[in-house]
Amino acid sequence: MHTGILSCASDATLAEVAEIMSANRVHAVAVTDHGHSRPVGIVSDLDVVAAVATGTDPDALQVAATQPVAVSADESLVRASQL
C-alpha cells in the first residue's frame, strides 16, 4: 500500500503517467506544477485512453482535469463520495 498521493510533473508524457499507474496499480495520478508539489490537476486512466484514441501525444497537464473536486481530511467518507 502506498501512503500519500502519487504525482507526476506537468510535462510528463502519457507513457510516463501510464507507467506510474501500472507500477502502483492505481487509476489516477496528481499532476504537480514545476518546482512545487502543489497539485494542479488529475490524470485518470480514462484520460490516457482518450488521448491515445485520438492519436495525439499531449503532456500530462494537457489531458488533466484541472479543477478536480477535493475534500479536506476531516470530511466524512459519505460526504466525499457524494461530491
∠ CA 15-40-3, nearest 5°, is: 75
CATH number at residue 37: 3.10.580.10
C-alpha cell at 33: 506544477
Residue 6's contacts (CB-CB under 8 Å, 6 or more residues apart) are 20, 24, 26, 29, 30
Tell me the per-residue pLDDT of 23-81, one tens digit each, with 9 for 90 and over: 999 999 999 987 677 888 999 999 999 998 988 888 888 888 877 777 888 989 898 88
Q: Total domain count for the chain?
A: 1
Q: How far is CA 53 from the centre of its chain?
A: 18
Which pTM does this prediction carry?
0.75
Q: Is residue 1 part of a domain?
A: no
- Write out the residue range of the structural domain in which residue 64 sits: 7-82
Q: Is residue 70 part of a domain?
A: yes
Q: Is residue 20 part of a domain?
A: yes
